[in-house]
Chains A and B, each alone.
Chain A
Amino acid sequence: MDSAVALLLAQDGFTNGAIYALLSLALVLVFAVTRVIFIPQGEYVAYGALTMAAVVTGQLPPTMWLVVTLGIAVAIVDGVVAVREGAKSRLPLIIVKNAVLPIAAMVVVRLLPLKELSYPLQVLVALAFVVPLGPQVYRLAFQPVAEASVLLLLIVSVAVHFMMVGMGLYFFGAEGARIPPFTEGGLTLGATFIQYQTIWIVGIAALLIAGLALFFEHSIYGKALRATAINRTGARLMGISADLAGKLCFTLAALVGAFSGILIAPITTVYYDTGFLIGLKGFVGAIIGGLVSYPLAAAGSILVGLLESYSSFYASAYKEVIVFTLIIPVLLYQSLTTKHVDDEDEH
C-alpha cells in the first residue's frame, strides 16, 4: 500500500466513521433514556436515503401512507386513553396532532413540484415523512411496555426491525438508489483528491454532534432527557414525563438516522436493507463506549470506520467479520473490569 492509497482509505474510514458516530450517539441516547437497544436505528438511515431518492426524482415519498396510518393508530390509542381517563377535552388536540397533521402534510406534498424544489427543501420534505416514524414507533411499540425488562424491550426492538425491513422492501423495492451530492466535485490536496461530499459529511456530523451537546447542556428538554437517563424514577418525581422523554429521544434518533442516510446516499448505493449493518456498526461503536459514554462511543465509531476501510483493502471478504470481532476484546476488557452486576434483579 502506498501513501496515496493509505490516505484514500483513511478518508473513507473517517467518512463512514462519522456516520457511525452519529448513529452510536443516537443509540446511546435511546438506551440511556428508555433502556431500549434500538436495533431499527439503521432502518431510519435506509428510509431517509431512499425517501430522499424518491423526492429528488419527483416521486411522492413512499413512506407517507405509513406516516398517516401510524398517525391515525396513535390518535386512536391516545384517544382511547384520554376517554378512559375522562379527559375528552384532550381529544381534538390528539386528533389534530397525530392524524390531521400527517394527512395535511400529504396533501401539501402532492401539490408541491418536488423535482423543482431546491435541495435543502427536498431534504426537508424527505425528513418530514421519515422522522415522525420515530415517535410513532415509540408510542405504539415501546410505550406500552416501557417498564419491562431490557430483554423484553430488546425483543420488541428486533420485531420492529423485522417489520421495518419488510415494509422497506414494499415501499422502495429491491433496487438500490443514490442521490446527487450536496456539491459536485472535490478538491485536490497534495496527492489526494477529497470529494466535497466527504467534507459535508464530516462537517455536518461534527455540527450535529455539537448541536446535540448544546441541546443537552442548555435546553430544558435536553436537561430533562439527561435527568431521565440518570434516574428515571427521580426524573418522574420532578414532573418529567417518561413518555415525553421517550418520544423525544426516538424523534432525535429518527432525525439523526434519516439525516445520516441522506448524507451517505451520494457516496454509496443504499438498499432497503442496507441500514441494518450500518446501524450495527454504530452499535459496535456504542458498545466500545459501554453504551453509556458519548465521547467514547464517537471515538469507537471512528475506529470502526477506519478498521472497516483498511480491512476492505486487505481482506475485503472478511471485513464484516473483522469489524464485528472488534467487540470481543472490548467486551472482554469490560467483563474483566466489571465487578458485580445486579441489573436484572427484578420482581
Chain B
Amino acid sequence: MAAYLTPNRALIGFVLALGLIPLLAGQFTVTIVNYIGLYALVALGLVLLTGIGGLTSFGQAAFVGLGAYATAYLTTRHGMSPWGTLIVGMAVTTAISLALGFITLRLSGHFLPLGTIAWGISLYFIFGNLQALGGHGGIDGIPSVDLFGLDLGNSRAFFYIIWATLLAAIVTTQNMLDSREGRAMRCLRAMTMTEAMGINTLRYRMVLFMIAAQFACVSGWLYAHLQRFVNPTPFSLGQGIEYLFMAVLGGAATVWGAVFGASAVSMLKEYLQDWLPKLLGATGNFENVVFGLLTIIVLHRARDGVWPILMRVFASTVAQRDAARSVEPALPLPKRDVPERGSDVLQVINVTKRFGGLVANNKMNLTVRAGEVMALIGPNGAGKSTLFNCISGVNPPTEGEIRFMGQRIEQLGSREIAKLGMSRSFQHVRLNQDMTVLENAAIGAHLRGRKNFVQSAWRLDREEERRLLWEAAHQLQRCGLGEHLFDTCGSLPLGKQRIVEIARALCSDPTLLLLDEPAAGLRHLEKKALADLLDKLRGEGMAILLVEHDMDFVMGLADRVLVMEFGEFLAEGLPREIQTNPKVLEAYLGGVDE
C-alpha cells in the first residue's frame, strides 16, 4: 500500500473525491462540507499563528465577522459589487490586524490572546448595537456572487468557490513555509537565535497575525454570500474559541491539521448536538463540555494534535519522498569583501557588564584581526559567554566601547550587528529540532536573500531559493555534514548539532565568526576535522573568536589566547606563553602553597 499512496496521489484523490460531492451527495452533506471549508480556512490561519508562530488569537471570529459584515453592508446599502467589498474587507482587516499587532506583539506572548479577547467581545457588541448594521436582527438580502457571468447563487455551485479558495490558501501557505521567509517564521519561538541571524522577529509575528486575519476575513466574505444573511451570533467570542479548538485538535503545526480539525469539530458538533441531549435526557451545551474535555485530553496526550499521529501511520511513504530529495546546483551567492589580512576586525575596549550587583565582565579589552583565530579561555563562570553576548548584541554591555570594522556597535541590537557581518554559534544549541539540517543552516543565509513571503507563496522565489539552499548545502558539506542534509536536527547527536550551528553561521558569509564551545561533545577525529575547517577559514581571511575548554584544541589552533577569571582579564599571549604563565596555571590548577 505504501508504495502506491504518495502524498501527491493522496492529494489528487482527495481533490477528485471532493469535486464529486456537489454532483452526488445530498443537500445536508453539501452544506456540512461547505461549512467545513469555511471553518478550515480560519483554522489554517490559526495553524500559522499558533503552530508556526507560537502566538494565538481568540478574535478570529471577529475578523470573520468583519469580512461578512463589510460585504453585507456595502452590497445591500451601497450596491457595491461583492468583489469590490472583498477588497474593502481585506483592507480594513489588514489595518486592524496591524494595529492590534503593533499594540500587543512587542509584549510577552500572552498579550495577543488577551487583546484579541477584548477585540472579539467589542466587535460582537458593535455588530449587535449599530442600527446601520441591522442590530441583533442582522442584514438580509445579500446578493449572490457572479463569476464571469456565472451566477453562484446555490450552495452546490458555491461549494467549488469555497474549496478552491481553501486549497489555494493551503498550497500557497505550504509554499510560503517552504521558503526563506517561511523558515524564519518557523524559528520565531527561538527569538534570541533568530534575531542573531539578522531576522526581525516582530515583523514576522505581525505578518503571521495579518495573514491569519485575512484568511478569516475571506472566510467571512464567503460565508455572507453563501448564507445571503448575516447576524452577530456566528462572530462571537465563543465561536472564536471554537476555531482555536479546531486548530489545536487537528494539529496546530500542520496545514492539513486545520482541515482535519475543522472536519472533526463540525461533524462531532452536528452529532453531539443531536445525541447528547437524548442520551442525558436534559438540555444543555453538552457539546461544549465534550469539546473542552477533548481539547484537554489532546493537549495532555498529544500536544501536536491528532493529524501528526495519523501521518505517522503513513510515515514510510513520507520518508521515501524525503530520501529522494537532493539539492539542485545553483549560482553561488555574492560574497562580502574580505578585510585586509591582519587588520583589526573587532575591538573591545573597557567593556563592563553588570547584572544588578554582580560584575560579570570588568573592563575587558580584546582585539581580533582578520585571518587569525583568537581563543578566549577561562574556568567556568569566568564570564566568557557573557562577553560573547555583549559583542554579538544579544545582551549589550553596561559600559565600554565595541568596534566592529571600525563602527561602534555596543548600542546596536543583535540583528543590526548580524547585518554588519558578524555571526555566532550558541553554547546551548539553538536549532529548530523539527526542521532538516539543510533548512536550519539556510536560516543563516537569511540576510543574503530578498524575496518576501508573497513572492514565495506564489513560487516567484525559486531561483533565489535554489541559491540559498545550494549555499547551505555547500557550507554543510564543508563542515562534514553532507550526508545529513535531509535529517531533522533532532535526530543528530549533540556534537553534530553544534557543527550545524557553525554551518549556519558560515551561511551568512561572516567577516567575524564567534564560536561558543564548538568542540564540546565531539570525538577526536571530528575535533581534528573542525580544527582543519577553522584553519582553512582563517586562511581565507576570516576572523574567528572562540570560547573553548579543550586545551589541546585551543593550543593547536589559536594564534593568540586571552584568559579570563572571575570576569577579569588574566593574561593574553601566544599559546605557548599562556601554557607556561604562572597566573594561568594557578587559576586552572589552584595555587601552590609555599
* A196 → chain B closest CB, angstroms: 33
A343 to B238, CA, bound (A): 28
**CB within 8 Å of A: which of B84-139?**
102-104, 106-111, 113-115, 117-119, 121-122, 125-126, 129
| B248 closest partner in A (C-beta) | A155
Count chain A CB atoms within 10 A of each CB in B54, B244, B248, B284 and give the residue with the most.
B284
Count chain B CB atoms within 10 A of each CB in A145, A277, A321 and give the residue with the most.
A321
Instruction: Flag whether A320 is at the interface (Cβ < 8 A).
Output: yes
Instruction: Flag whether A327 is at the interface (Cβ < 8 A).
Output: yes
Q: Cβ of A341: which chain B residues have Cβ within 8 Å of it?
A: 106-108
Instruction: Flag whether B141 is at the interface (Cβ < 8 A).
Output: no
A158/B244 in contact, CB under 8 A: yes
B122/A156 in contact, CB under 8 A: no
Q: Cβ of B110: which chain A residues have Cβ within 8 Å of it?
A: 37, 150-151, 154, 291
- Known interface pairs A159-B292, A280-B117. Does A166 touch B122 (Cβ–Cβ under 8 Å)? no
Instruction: Flag whether A117 is at the interface (Cβ < 8 A).
Output: no
* A89 → chain B closest CB, angstroms: 27
**CB within 8 Å of B: which of A134-180?**
141, 144-145, 148-152, 154-156, 158-163, 165-167, 169-170
Comparing B293-301, B549-557, B562-570, the segment that makes contact with chain A is B293-301
A 14-31 binary contact with B (CB < 8 Å = 1; else 0):
000000000000000000
Instruction: Flag whether A184 is at the interface (Cβ < 8 A).
Output: no
Instruction: Flag whether B285 is at the interface (Cβ < 8 A).
Output: yes
A152/B107 in contact, CB under 8 A: no
Instruction: Flag whether B204 is at the interface (Cβ < 8 A).
Output: no
A320/B121 in contact, CB under 8 A: yes
A 323-337 binary contact with B (CB < 8 Å = 1; else 0):
011011001101110
Instruction: Flag whether A317 is at the interface (Cβ < 8 A).
Output: yes
Q: Cβ of A166: which chain B residues have Cβ within 8 Å of it?
A: 284-289, 292
A160/B292 in contact, CB under 8 A: yes
Q: Cβ of B303: which chain A residues have Cβ within 8 Å of it?
A: 148, 152
| B288 closest partner in A (C-beta) | A166
B118/A162 in contact, CB under 8 A: no
Instruction: Flag whether B282 is at the interface (Cβ < 8 A).
Output: yes
A156 to B299, CA, bound (A): 8
A165/B288 in contact, CB under 8 A: yes
A155/B121 in contact, CB under 8 A: no
Contact partner of B291 (CB less than 8 A), chosen from A156, A159, A280, A331, is A159
Main SS class of interface, A: helix
Q: Cβ of A345: which chain B residues have Cβ within 8 Å of it?
A: 189-192
A162 to B102, CA, bound (A): 29
A291 to B111, CA, bound (A): 10
A165/B285 in contact, CB under 8 A: yes
Main SS class of interface, B: helix
Q: Cβ of A3: which chain B residues have Cβ within 8 Å of it?
A: none
Instruction: Flag whether A318 is at the interface (Cβ < 8 A).
Output: yes
A345 to B192, CA, bound (A): 7
* B474 → chain A closest CB, angstroms: 28
Contact partner of A331 (CB less than 8 A), chosen from B111, B121, B244, B296, is B111
Total interface residues on A, CB under 8 Å, equals 50
Instruction: Flag whether A188 is at the interface (Cβ < 8 A).
Output: no
Instruction: Flag whether A298 is at the interface (Cβ < 8 A).
Output: no
Q: Cβ of A321: which chain B residues have Cβ within 8 Å of it?
A: 121-122, 125-126
**CB within 8 Å of A: which of B332-391?**
none
B109/A287 in contact, CB under 8 A: no
A37/B241 in contact, CB under 8 A: no
Instruction: Flag whether A2 is at the interface (Cβ < 8 A).
Output: no
Contact partner of B296 (CB less than 8 A), chosen from A141, A150, A338, is A141
A141 to B129, CA, bound (A): 37
Instruction: Flag whether B58 is at the interface (Cβ < 8 A).
Output: yes
Instruction: Flag whether B179 is at the interface (Cβ < 8 A).
Output: no
B299/A152 in contact, CB under 8 A: yes
Contact partner of A155 (CB less than 8 A), chosen from B126, B190, B299, B428, is B299
Q: Cβ of B122: which chain A residues have Cβ within 8 Å of it?
A: 320-321, 324-325
Instruction: Flag whether B476 is at the interface (Cβ < 8 A).
Output: no
A318/B129 in contact, CB under 8 A: yes
Instruction: Flag whether B55 is at the interface (Cβ < 8 A).
Output: yes
Instruction: Flag whether A284 is at the interface (Cβ < 8 A).
Output: yes
Q: Cβ of B392: which chain A residues have Cβ within 8 Å of it?
A: none
Instruction: Flag whether A344 is at the interface (Cβ < 8 A).
Output: yes
A324/B118 in contact, CB under 8 A: yes
- Known interface pairs A166-B284, A344-B191. Does A151 touch B292 (Cβ–Cβ under 8 Å)? no
17 extra A-B contacts, CB within 8 A, seeds A144-B300, A328-B115: A141-B296, A152-B299, A156-B296, A159-B299, A162-B241, A162-B291, A162-B292, A163-B293, A166-B284, A166-B287, A166-B292, A170-B282, A280-B117, A317-B129, A324-B122, A325-B118, A325-B122
> What are 9 inter-chain pairs, A to B, with CB distance below 8 A?
A151-B109, A158-B241, A166-B285, A169-B283, A280-B121, A328-B118, A344-B191, A345-B192, A346-B189
3 tightest A-B CB contacts, nearest first: A163-B292, A166-B288, A166-B289
